[in-house]
């Protein structure tokens, strides 16, 4: 997989993490969902910029 495609995949994974985080926070604040929600939130925060950087560097190589 090329760098550009990998960047897209990582950004898509970050968006999925944010969507799952939002769905978990809509439920009652059970301790387990709060713990998983925080982990998904931070994974999404890291994944989106990382994917964008890989996507842009994949563009610059061409």
Alpha carbon distance 57, 61 (integer Å): 6
Is the pLDDT at 52 greater than 80? The verdict is yes
Is the pLDDT at 33 greater than 80? The verdict is no
Alpha carbon distance 54, 32 (integer Å): 33
Q: What is the 3-state secondary structure (H, E, C) of the chain?
A: CCHHHHHHHHHHHHHHHHHHHHHHHHCCCCHHHHHHHHHHHHHHHHHHHHHHHHHHHHHHHC
Q: pTM above 0.85?
A: no
pLDDT for the residue numbered 47: 94
Q: What is the mean pLDDT of residues 43-55?
A: 92
Percent of the chain, pLDDT > 70? 81
Reported confidence tier of residue 31, pLDDT bands at 50, 70, 90? low
Largest CA distance in the chain: 48
pLDDT for the residue numbered 2: 76
């Amino acid at each position: 997989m090329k760098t550009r495609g990998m960047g897209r995949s990582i950004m898509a994974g970050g968006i999925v993490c944010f969507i799952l985080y939002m769905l978990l926070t809509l439920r009652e604040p059970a301790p387990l969902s709060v713990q998983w929600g925080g982990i998904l939130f931070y994974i999404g925060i890291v994944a989106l910029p990382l994917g964008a950087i890989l996507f842009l560097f994949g563009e610059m190589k061409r």
